[in-house]
Copies of this chain bind each other. A is one copy, B any other.
Amino acid sequence: MKNKSALHESEGTHPSSEVNAVMAKKIRDSRRKETSIDEIFTRLRAGDKSALSQGITLVETNQPKQQEKAAQLIEKCLPYANNSIRIGITGVPGVGKSTFIEAFGVHMADAGKKVAVLAVDPSSSISGGSILGDKTRMETLVNHENAFIRPSPSGDSLGGVAKKTRETIILCEAAGFDTLLIETVGVGQSETTVHSMTDFFLLLKLAGAGDELQGIKRGIMEMADAIVINKADGENRKPAERARAEFRRALHLYPAKETGWQPKVLLCSAYYKEGISEVWELISDYEQKLKENGNFSKKRHEQNKFWLLQTINEHLKSRFYNEPEIKILLKQQLEALENNETTPFEAAAFLLQRYREL
């Protein structure tokens, strides 16, 4: 066209204008994207629960593009995070976790607290289900204006679920939620995971027949800041009191916590809403004491550091052990080890040498 006639020279701008249109669209799209994250952020900061949900959905996605947006949102939220108490709650199925969270959450929400309930459930990645999926068990809380309930994210590893949960905590806090309840069913290492992302760790128990302390998972007692014996009502009251005495004795066996906190044992009946305010008083007391002695923020900083190093170490390992050649060689070395043909150190040196040469 350009070469047809000098008169048509003005038309030469058309293609250039089209290019501009493409660019303009790109800019518009990019602005729309920014607006979108900006908008989610603004609404989220105003306490809008649907914006918070949207944000969490971004955090939970595995798409690289959405992940980038999630990272932008988290970055915006970071300065407004951290202003909360994060409470981990664990207990075996049947202990009444949902009933307890409902009663405790409503109690807090009625008192003007903004309560967010999250869950870490590594098994949900297999079953596809969620421990908070059955929201009918939290009818009052789910409809409370001061409460926000989010079912457990799915993930292909506990590490993945943990990352999503920790990022969700940031969004919830930026949205003004000051009381975070993070539930776990206690499959595999999930209690340790929840313990390492919460300020206060609460173990729910029942007074049952026989020895109360048998059957408590290894290490759980040492993590607990409080043991709450649920269903301590009616005929259960006496056995619950006996269990309380036994748990107190058992807790006494452990050395004092680094935070200076001495774990406590309480009774409650979540169903009859008895003993709920005492649990909150205990947690308030804990928060106050640890803030006074500086251990509250110290613990959070240590948790941040733990998660940073943990994430790095897991990545280094997964890169090594997922290397196809290493997989084959490792299998061979393990066999040689089983037959006493090599030592663990010789085998390790061999594998590391081969990994370096890859």
Residues of A in contact with B (beta carbons under 8 Å apart) = 71, 74-75, 78-79, 81-82, 163, 166-167, 170, 211, 213-218, 222, 250, 252-255, 301, 304-308, 310-313, 315-317, 320, 333-334, 337-338, 340-349, 351-352
- Name A316's contact: one of B75, B307, B317 (CB within 8 Å): B317
- Which residues of the partner chain B approach A312 to less than 8 Å between Cβ atoms? 320, 348, 351-352
B79 and A340: CB pair below 8 A?
yes
B344 and A307: CB pair below 8 A?
yes
| Minimum C-beta distance from A250 to chain B (A) | 6
What CA separation (Å) do A213 and B252 show in the bound complex?
9
| Given contacts A78-B343, A214-B255, A301-B338, A348 and B311 within 8 Å (CB-CB) | yes
Ranked nearest first, the 9 interchain pairs of A and B with the lowest CB-CB distance are: A307-B344, A311-B348, A308-B344, A213-B253, A316-B316, A304-B337, A312-B348, A163-B345, A308-B347
Which secondary structure characterizes the binding site on chain A? helix
B166 and A345: CB pair below 8 A?
yes
| Given contacts A340-B78, A340-B81, A253 and B308 within 8 Å (CB-CB) | no
Among residues of B, the one whose C-beta sits closest to the C-beta of A345 is: B163
B320 and A308: CB pair below 8 A?
no
| Minimum C-beta distance from A83 to chain B (A) | 11
What CA separation (Å) do A173 and B337 show in the bound complex?
17
Among residues of B, the one whose C-beta sits closest to the C-beta of A308 is: B344
What CA separation (Å) do A218 and B333 show in the bound complex?
34
- Which residues of the partner chain B approach A310 to less than 8 Å between Cβ atoms? 344
Among residues of B, the one whose C-beta sits closest to the C-beta of A347 is: B308
| Minimum C-beta distance from A341 to chain B (A) | 7
B253 and A344: CB pair below 8 A?
no
- Which residues of the partner chain B approach A334 to less than 8 Å between Cβ atoms? 305, 308
B337 and A211: CB pair below 8 A?
no
B343 and A167: CB pair below 8 A?
yes
Among residues of B, the one whose C-beta sits closest to the C-beta of A338 is: B301
| Minimum C-beta distance from A224 to chain B (A) | 14
What CA separation (Å) do A310 and B343 show in the bound complex?
13
A218 and B345: CB pair below 8 A?
no
Sample of 5 further A-B pairs with CB below 8 A, known A78-B343, A304-B338, A308-B333: A74-B346, A82-B340, A166-B345, A218-B255, A316-B352
- Which residues of the partner chain B approach A253 to less than 8 Å between Cβ atoms? 213-214, 216, 250, 253
Among residues of B, the one whose C-beta sits closest to the C-beta of A341 is: B78
What CA separation (Å) do A352 and B222 show in the bound complex?
33
- Which residues of the partner chain B approach A75 to less than 8 Å between Cβ atoms? 346
| Minimum C-beta distance from A206 to chain B (A) | 17
- Which residues of the partner chain B approach A347 to less than 8 Å between Cβ atoms? 308
- Which residues of the partner chain B approach A351 to less than 8 Å between Cβ atoms? 312
11 contacts between A and B (CB under 8 A): A75-B346, A167-B343, A213-B252, A250-B253, A304-B338, A306-B344, A308-B337, A308-B344, A311-B349, A312-B320, A316-B320
